[in-house]
A and B are shown apart, each in its own frame.
Chain A
Amino acid sequence: MAADAGDPRLAMLVDGIVRLSRGDLGSRIVPSPARDDVDAVITGVNLLAEELELVYRQFEKRVENRTAMLHQAHLDMKRMAMTDALTGLSNRVDLVEKIEKALSAQRDGSPPPALLLLDLDSFKNVNDRFGHDAGDDVLREVAERLRGAVRTTDTVARLGGDEFAILVTQATMEVALGVANRALDVLSKSIDVGEFDVHPRASIGLRVATEEHTAESLLHEADTAMYAAKNEGRSAIKAFEPVMLYDRQLRTLMASELRDAIGTDQLCVHYQPIVNLRDGSINGVEVLVRWAHPTRGMISPESFIPLAEEIGAISDLDRWVMATALQQYAIWRAARLIPEDFQIRVNISAIELRQLDMVDFVRGLLKRMSMPPRSLVIEITESALVSGGEVETYSLLSFKQLGVCIEIDDFGTGYSSISYLRKLPVDMVKVDRSILREPATGSWQPEFVAAVFQLIRAAGLGAVFEGIETQEQAEFLRSLGDVSGQGFFFSKPLPEPEVTALLLSGSALPLPQVGQH
């Protein structure tokens, strides 16, 4: 049954193939009842077309599935990229996006958003004392509580470390303050970490957006307010004020200047004599660092030491002071200006106790200067001693083993309790000036001072009183027994040449006339 040259089915076949090749895969060619070779070709083409259509449809379906999977993966990734892995809160990227949305809504007439930045106070202590797992538990709990303290339209984010943010949409100052207070409130209950309770206090900075804000500037200003709140003290809420920006800039400038100043002659140490109250003889000095700023004059350690701690320069600063002081001791010793029992007192920061090599550094210095360890007294603030973790305790014990004396500084200002006095590895107590002077009236209460002294003696420790300003105070303290003291009544802190001259003279303090050396 060969097809004739004029077989119309061949033309149909050609048309059919043309349709198929154009992509019309549903098109079919109708075979004739003859079922000859031409019909066989038609049938074959139909079957192949059906196959092709099916494969094509499967392929389309697979592309569709893969596209959906890709889309889902993209969404998952986006969610992961937008989420803080530890707490499941929004992260910074997501927060910025939401701030931008809220700012754009504001431009369209909605009430402005407000941004709260929240930083946990002394969270680092939690990590240091209880470990990072406990720290993570605390962060998760804080996240959960904050989530419960905001409205559903608000966003809680974790920006990293112990820093959280709350974006309050459609806010007023009142609404924002309400959220801030609720946040402080939910954090006021302690968090159970194993056997311990942690009190997660926080400082909050707040900024209600204006029309001019960008997400970045809003974050910066809320952060500046938080910074001010942190300086204010614990559990403070601060709304942004323009002057805060200036303070912060000044602080940033000062931070970079301080870094540069360490190790140059801008920093120097002064020495305040410690006097044996029995005879006025000088039995030691306290080393006090000073910053002679080229344009701003003398800057007090109260303002630059916290700054040095904050910018991580405290270690360099403390070590520079320590080295300078011990070198000076060696010079005085060589010149036979100081007695055997003369002690040089150096303050070190609580942070420095966490540096495991600090003890080695001091040991090396003592050896180099041929200085007996007992001649060095390390003064550490009471709060640092009490709140210190294992590393701090280890450092203290190592210092003690080295033979260096340890003194609690500013005793009476913080956590003092009798049990601490007995437990801590300290040798001496420096009684804070506020004990000598009743703060409100400026008058002082000898009975109270006597009781404090008794307490220290009962704990088996030596006592040094600071802030002695009058002869009356000096005489009363002398009457208590074997007491040392320092204060303006005897001598203010002196630069090295003046204190050297004083030691050279062998004079007892106070000198008969003020201003003489």
Chain B
Amino acid sequence: MFGMNSLWLMPTEVPATAAPVSVVRLVLPEGEHITTEIAESFAEQVRAEGGGVPQPVLIVISGIASLSRGARAVFSRSRSASAIALVGASAVDRVLANFLLGGEPPACPTSYFGDEDTAVAWLLERIHGS
């Protein structure tokens, strides 16, 4: 029911010898109130995807109705992401995203973006930049 797909990306800035990097891309269901259960199911998918290795994660939150505190806690506890980029479209998304990032953020770098390209670039920079 909820969309999720993995992308294989070849960043332009990195040498051709570098191994392809996978970014886990999650799309939260539009119009939904994101509950703890929904958040847990997404977190489970990220864990499965990474196989124990922290992955860069991109979460599209455009159009979600709201986020529960429980969902926010699932996000805070996340240990399977190496970096998280939130992507939204509207002013409402921005407010919700910052609610998600406020309070206790997860242990990895996090940021909000208005479009996916900038978000992916930021994620890749996290991987290779340092």
> Which of B89, B90, B95 is within 8 Å of A44, CB to CB?
B95
A356 on the interface (CB 8 Å rule)?
Answer: no
A43 within 8 A of B: yes
**B91 at the A/B interface (Cβ < 8 Å)?**
yes
- Name the B residues within 8 Å of A54 (CB-CB): 69
Task: Give every chain B residue within 8 A of A44 (Cβ-Cβ).
Answer: 95, 99
Determine whether the beta carbon of B95 is less than 8 Å from that of A43.
yes
For B93-110 the 0/1 string (1 means CB < 8 A from A) is 111100100000000000
CB–CB B66/A36 < 8 A: no
Q: Does B10 contact A (CB under 8 A)?
A: no
In the complex, are the beta carbons of B91 and A35 less than 8 A apart? yes
**Do B93 and A35 touch (CB < 8 A)?**
yes
- Contact between A40 and B69, CB atoms less than 8 A apart: no
Q: Could you tell me if B99 and A40 are in contact, using CB atoms closer than 8 angstroms?
A: no
Using Cβ atoms and an 8 Å threshold, which residues of chain A touch B94? 40
**In the complex, A39 has a CB within 8 A of chain B:** yes
Q: Mark B62-89, 1 if CB is under 8 A from A, else 0.
A: 0100100100000000000000000001
In the assembled complex, the Cα of A35 lies from the Cα of B63 at a distance in Å of 8
- A37 contacts the other chain (CB 8 A): yes
Separation of A1 and B93 alpha carbons in the complex (Å): 14
Closest to B88 in A: A35
Considering the chains assembled together, what is the distance between the CA atoms of A369 and B91 in angstroms?
112
A47 at the interface (CB under 8 A from B): yes
One of B63, B69, B89, B96 near A43 (C-beta < 8 A)? B96
Of B91, B92, B93, B94, the most chain A CB neighbours within 10 A belong to B92
B62 and chain A: residue at smallest CB distance? A35
Contacting residues, chain A, for B92 (C-beta < 8 A): 31, 35-36, 39-40, 43
Interface size bracket, A side: 10 to 19
- A50: interface (CB < 8 Å): yes
Min Cβ gap B64→A in Å is 10
How far does the alpha carbon of A46 sit from the alpha carbon of B33 in the complex, in Å?
13
Shortest CB distance A54–B (Å)? 6
Q: How far is the CA of A37 from the CA of B93 in the complex (A)?
A: 10
Interface members, chain A 23-61 (any B CB < 8 Å): 31, 35-37, 39-40, 43-44, 46-47, 50, 54
Instruction: Establish whether residues A39 and B90, one from each chain, have CB atoms under 8 Å apart when the complex forms.
Output: yes
Contact of A37 among B63, B66, B89, B91 (CB under 8 A): B91
Point out the residues of chain B lying under 8 angstroms from A35, CB to CB.
Answer: 63, 89-93
| A residues in contact with B93, CB < 8 Å | 35
CA distance in complex: A50, B69 (Å): 9
For window 8-48 of chain B, which residues contact chain A by CB distance below 8 Å? Answer: none
Query: In the bound complex, how far is the Cα of B88 from the Cα of A35, in angstroms?
Result: 11
Contacts of A1 in B (CB 8 A): 91
Nearest CB in chain B to that of A31: its residue: B92
Residue of A nearest to B90 (CB): A35
Q: How far is the CA of A47 from the CA of B95 in the complex (A)?
A: 9
**Residues of chain A with a CB closer than 8 A to B99's CB:** 44, 47
Residue of B nearest to A51 (CB): B69
Do the beta carbons of A36 and B90 come within 8 Å of each other?
yes
C-alpha spacing A39/B92, complex, angstroms: 6
Q: Which residues of B contact A36 (CB under 8 A)?
A: 90-92
Chain B residues with CB below 8 A from A50, complex form: 69
Contacts of B96 in A (CB 8 A): 43, 47
For the complex formed, measure the closest distance between the CB of A225 and the CB atoms of chain B, giving whole angstroms: 71
B99 to chain A, nearest CB (A): 5
Q: Is the CB of B91 within 8 A of A46?
A: no
- B91 contacts which chain A residues (CB < 8 A)? 1, 35-37, 39-40
* A1-41 Cβ-contact flags toward B at 8 Å (1 or 0): 10000000000000000000000000000010001110110
State the CA gap A40–B94 with chains docked (Å): 8
- Complex Cα spacing A179 to B66, Å: 74
Are B90 and A46 neighbours in the complex by a CB distance under 8 Å? no
> Could you tell me the distance between the alpha carbons of A453 and B91 in the complex, rounded to whole angstroms?
121
Query: Nearest B residue to A36 by beta-carbon distance?
Result: B91
Given contacts A31-B92, A47-B66, 11 further A-B contacts (CB under 8 A): A1-B91, A35-B90, A36-B92, A37-B91, A39-B92, A40-B90, A43-B96, A44-B99, A47-B96, A47-B99, A54-B69
Interchain residue pairs with CB less than 8 A apart (21): A31-B92, A35-B63, A35-B89, A35-B90, A35-B91, A35-B92, A35-B93, A36-B90, A36-B92, A39-B90, A39-B92, A40-B90, A40-B95, A43-B66, A43-B96, A44-B95, A44-B99, A46-B66, A47-B66, A47-B95, A47-B96
Which residues of A come within 8 Å of B, CB atoms? 1, 31, 35-37, 39-40, 43-44, 46-47, 50, 54
What are the 5 tightest A-B residue pairs by CB atom distance, in nearest-first order?
Answer: A40-B91, A35-B90, A35-B92, A40-B95, A44-B95
